[in-house]
Chains A and B, each alone.
Chain A
Amino acid sequence: MTKKKIGTVWLGGCSGCHMSLLDIDERILDVARLADIVKCPIVDGKEFPKVDIALVEGSVTSDEHLHEILHIRKQAKLLVALGDCAVMTNVTGMRNYLQLNEVFDTAYVNAISNDQSGTVPNHPALLRLHDKVFPLQEVVNVDYVIPGCPPSADAIFYVLFEFLNDRVPDLNEVKKLKYG
């Protein structure tokens, strides 16, 4: 049997879901027997390769994320939304009922820590924030979701292990659903 390929990425998220992924501890060896992890946020910046399973953390908050998720959708056989931000925008979506300039001003100009002299960064190399934050499902087709902030390591391992053994996981059936 040829090994499957897994790639992971974080978009508008806090990396907490990836911490939870690392929390599967020694079970990573079970995953490694069945698959190679060919891409993750701590490897170099090559573009997202063809994979069997893409774990995507975080929501779509900027032009860069949009470009990335559209690319990943083409590269991945199975796209899994990992965590509440990817599934339902969660904390990243809390700015959605504000105007973008209010958000920038709150963070860079009016923040207590920056003595009123702050300016909004606008270097061309920086990503451009969208007005609204979207969950993955509003931008691309998502094949599976793991809710939770973060999802438990058990839930992540369960889903990965089932997919790697060509079974379809059911988080509800094994009582591993969790939000927040």
Chain B
Amino acid sequence: MNTIDIKINERSLKVLPGITILQACRDNGIDILTMCHLKGLSDVGACRLCLVEIEGINKLLSACTTRVASNMVIRTDTEKIKRYQRITTELFFAERNHVCSVCVANGNCELQELGYKVGMDHIRYPFLFPECKVDTSHQYFVMDHNRCIMCTRCVRACSEVEGAFNWDVKNRGFQVRVISDFDTPWGESITCTSCGKCLQACPTGALWSKDVVQGQLEKHPEMITELVEKRKLLLT
């Protein structure tokens, strides 16, 4: 099999051409922080946590959307990258209303875990306190925009795995929101199949089932990956 030579953190590696830097790291046990990446879904580079330094390129590139090239020299662990990861995490917290203590996902949240991983003890930016709606119109599920970090994992799970195309994104910048159908209440959706895949894909307490209470939410995003892998087996 054809392989190409790359270097990650001074380690010489032989990897398959065409894979992403993120995949090369994961295959070789190199830890890299991600939030919008979910194995099985396409990558969009939304969260900017997997930024890496590549020799010869004067800006940081996201590992999940950059493919390896021959003789690429990559660094994933520099002080600059760590500083950016901390900034990104703090901005996630400052942008919307992430009140862990009253959140269903408390103790079982990828954003909380991320904060611990980057060593965030406080947030250096002023909080925006945007007015965010909570959509409880669906029979079984709730969408709480206060907790959404716009990773769009739900949007991709809905379109790529379920094929329902219920979720989409409106606006730009800090007014960006996930919407159901044409920005109508989730309960009135004619495309939603109530499959619950978006709930499992969501890393925070933005999407949850009505039968859970504060701090009781359990998520299994790996079920999306499993489903995609199993479908591939069916096709072969």
Determine the chain A residues whose CB is within 8 A of the CB of B112 once the complex forms.
Answer: 179-180
* Contact call B131/A90, Cβ cutoff below 8 A: no
The main secondary structure of chain B at its interface with chain A is loop
- Residues from 70 to 97 in B contacting A, C-beta threshold 8 Å: 93, 97
Is B115 an interface residue, CB under 8 A from the partner? yes
Identify which of B100, B119, B126, B130 contacts A180 (C-beta below 8 A). B100
A3-11, A27-35, A36-44, A80-88 - interface stretch: A80-88
Is A138 an interface residue, CB under 8 A from the partner? yes
* Contact call A177/B119, Cβ cutoff below 8 A: yes
* Contact call B101/A172, Cβ cutoff below 8 A: no
* Contact call B115/A179, Cβ cutoff below 8 A: yes
What 0/1 readout, one digit per residue, does chain B (93-126) give for beta carbons within 8 Å of chain A?
Answer: 1000101111100110000100110011111001
In the complex, how many residues of chain B place their beta carbon closer than 8 angstroms to a beta carbon of chain A? 24
Whether A81 touches B122, Cβ cut-off 8 Å, given contacts A88-B93, A94-B97, A97-B97, is yes
CA distance A175 to B100 in the complex (A): 18
CB distance from B176 to the nearest CB of A (A): 17
CA distance A175 to B115 in the complex (A): 12
| With A177-B115, A179-B115 already in contact, 10 other A-B pairs whose C-beta atoms are closer than 8 Å | A81-B122, A87-B121, A88-B93, A91-B99, A94-B97, A97-B132, A146-B121, A149-B101, A177-B121, A179-B112
Q: Which A residues lie at the B interface, using CB under 8 A?
A: 81, 84, 87-91, 93-94, 96-97, 132, 135, 137-138, 142, 145-147, 149, 171-172, 175, 177-180
Q: Which B residues lie at the A interface, using CB under 8 A?
A: 93, 97, 99-103, 106-107, 112, 115-116, 119-123, 126-127, 129-132, 215
- Residue pairs across A and B with Cβ atoms less than 8 A apart, 12 shown, are A88-B127, A91-B101, A93-B129, A94-B102, A97-B97, A135-B122, A171-B121, A172-B121, A177-B115, A180-B101, A180-B106, A180-B215
